Amino acid sequence: MSQMDDNQAIASTSDPLPWGTLWGIGVGPGDADWLTLKGLRVLQSVPVVAMPQGHNGKPGMAYGIVKDFLSADQLLLPLSLPFVLDAHTLEQAWQAAAVQLVEVLQTGQDVAFIAEGDISFYSTFTYMAKYVHQLAPEVPIQPIPGICSPLAAAAALHMPLAIADETIAILPALYHVDDLIQALDWAEVVVLMKVSSVFPKVWAILAERQWLDRASLVEWVGGQQQTLFPTLHDLEHYQPPYFSILILRRTPYGF
């Protein structure tokens, strides 16, 4: 019997009580004031708040954003969701976290799963919702959108993310620079998420095309460490931190 088969016993053998609702709340990329009114209202109304944490037990960024909004009588449910790339490790972690969520939801308690940025934009909540639904299809799942980091980065740079008929390419943490080269051939705006791992290669490509003045780098957007580089000049040997976003506009535009 597979792990998922074992886990399904949780849903199938539970008493037919009303299920709690699983809320997915996008809390924004850093600034606590960017949390939406609905997100705040639901966050403060639920008895249980689920939050990702790493292998070392350190709470994820989402908890740091909303911790001042939580009350002492709310139960915190840490979920071990490591920041790794190995697909097998991730799948095991998602399944185990879904079991924890279902164990609470089957008691009729609502749970708010908090995630940095927007709940549908490269978010761990997507996997949580998937596996919870597999274990317990009866669970109501309600996503609440939040501000995603590219929108926040564009605002920090005082530029629009896109205007008129501009096309946008958004690439996740890059491991194949060829993806960038292809995007540069058709998109007027290119956003590179978590660019640190390939920044030297990206810098070289943009320097060759003489586009260093058309690209901007934002680090830790919305946080106390937020740093802006309006252009990439003089950054040839620079190494950005993990939470960095690069925005390239073929036609510079600011306000």
CATH 3.30.950.10 segments of the chain:
149-249
pLDDT of residue 6: 52
Identify the CATH number of the domain defined by range 3-144. Answer: 3.40.1010.10
Residue 104: phi and psi, rounded to 5, are -80, -45
Using the predicted structure, report yes or no on whether residue 138 has a pLDDT greater than 50.
Answer: yes
Strands 111-115 and 168-171: unpaired
Query: What is the C-alpha separation between 162 and 119, in angstroms, rounded?
Result: 21
Which tens digit of pLDDT belongs to each residue from 190-220? Answer: 999 999 999 999 999 999 999 999 999 999 9
149-249: CATH homologous superfamily?
Answer: Tetrapyrrole methylase, C-terminal domain (3.30.950.10)
User: In this structure, what token pair is assigned to residue 209?
Assistant: 């095309």
Which tens digit of pLDDT belongs to each residue from 32-70? Answer: 999 999 999 999 999 999 999 876 777 889 999 999 999
Which tens digit of pLDDT belongs to each residue from 116-133? Answer: 999 999 999 999 999 999
Using the predicted structure, report yes or no on whether residue 1 has a pLDDT greater than 50.
Answer: no
Residue 59, exposed/middle/buried by CB under 10 A (0-12, 13-18, 19+)? middle
Query: What is the C-alpha separation between 119 and 31, in angstroms, rounded?
Result: 16
CATH 3.40.1010.10 segments of the chain:
3-144
